[in-house]
Amino acid sequence: MKKIPSDILSQVIKKRNSDSFKGTYGKVLLIGGNQNYGGAIIMAAEACVNTGAGLTTVATDSVNLSALHTRVPEAMFVDYTDQKAILALLSKVNVVALGLGLGTEENAIALVKLILQNIAENQTLILDASALDLLANRPDLLSQLKNLESKVILTPHQMEWQNLSGIKISEQKEEPNCRALQQLGSNITLILKSNHTTIYDSTHQDIWQNTIGNPGMATGGMGDTLTGIIAGMIAQFGNSTQTILAAVYLHSYVGDLVAQDNYVVLPTAISRLIPRVMHDFQK
């Protein structure tokens, strides 16, 4: 197991080329936010936009439209019950993040199926939160990960990984985790979230550990913010292990900055600081 190198941000965050436009920086589709958990998808959008994705669209319940546009007017909206509109969007984006505050009701299942069937080779699919819960309960859907040609990122915390992999939290060690991940598919990156988040890469079979971050970040919405950062980073810098490591590191690095003055580190406080921190590390 390697540590994420402390210069990962300057490795990944490129000074922008003056000859570029918003399309250069990728298109992201974030899907989630039912009538109870709208904040999750809004916080992810906030993180994604502040990370610098070129265009961010949020597929969510229509009750969340007002709060979304108020907090993140830069993000576009699509009703997450409108499969046709989502399918049209899907073909145009680089990154899809699915599951944040999505719930596990009928529409959630339909969306997971829709995305698994239509995600394409050159795209990245991040499966988070409710999507992981759903997959854990639906072996038929989980087994589809094997056949996906897109790159997949899973972002479970330890309990979600237990449900997905069958490995108890106390036994979530490198070897069994690697084996379980290999069984899920060969094109998957696992971001196993804990106080020492570990990244498993099923393609290169590398394992990386995040050594920064702080317990002030142990609060609701922190994972949604991480997923938004990952999506925004991949949209701009492409899906590589380096990019994913940089996203995890950036999230914790900004969290540590906020914790210098704050007891609890609110997810939205992280998003607000991202543009400044990325500025300092661009190369």
Contacts of 7 (CB under 8 A, 6+ apart): none
Query: What character string, x for contact with its own copies (CB under 8 A) and - otherwise, covers 59-78?
Result: ---xxxxxxxxxxxxxxxxx
Scanning 104-112, 117-125, 141-149, 275-283 for contacts with its own copies by CB under 8 A, the matching segment is: 275-283
Region for residue 74 given its phi and psi (left: phi exceeds 0; alpha: psi -120 to 50; beta: otherwise) = alpha
> Are 277 and 10 within 8 A, CB to CB?
no
3-state secondary structure 208-222: EECCCCCHHHCCCCH
| Residue 155 in the binding site for its own copies (CB under 8 A) | no
Task: Give the nearest distance from C-beta 168 to its own copies in angstroms.
Answer: 16
Task: Give the nearest distance from C-beta 174 to its own copies in angstroms.
Answer: 19
Question: What is the β-pairing status of strands 188-192 and 198-201?
Answer: antiparallel
| Residue 182 in the binding site for its own copies (CB under 8 A) | no
Residues touching its own copies, count (CB under 8 A): 74
CA-wise closest residue to 155 among 99, 111, 206, 106: 99
Task: Give the nearest distance from C-beta 227 to its own copies in angstroms.
Answer: 14
Instruction: Report CA-CA distances (Å) from 136 to 30, 34, 127, 129, 161.
Output: 21, 19, 12, 11, 9
Strand partners, 20: none
| Residue 211 in the binding site for its own copies (CB under 8 A) | no
Position among 81, 83, 172, 216 found at the interface with its own copies (CB under 8 A): 216
| Residue 91 in the binding site for its own copies (CB under 8 A) | no
Position among 55, 125, 192, 233 found at the interface with its own copies (CB under 8 A): 55
Task: Give the nearest distance from C-beta 111 to its own copies in angstroms.
Answer: 17
Task: Give the nearest distance from C-beta 73 to its own copies in angstroms.
Answer: 4
d(CA 129, CA 99): 5
d(CA 176, CA 163): 14
d(CA 250, CA 51): 10
Position among 221, 231, 237, 249 found at the interface with its own copies (CB under 8 A): 221
Position among 7, 52, 114, 135 found at the interface with its own copies (CB under 8 A): 52
Query: What character string, x for contact with its own copies (CB under 8 A) and - otherwise, covers 111-150?
Result: ----------------------------------------
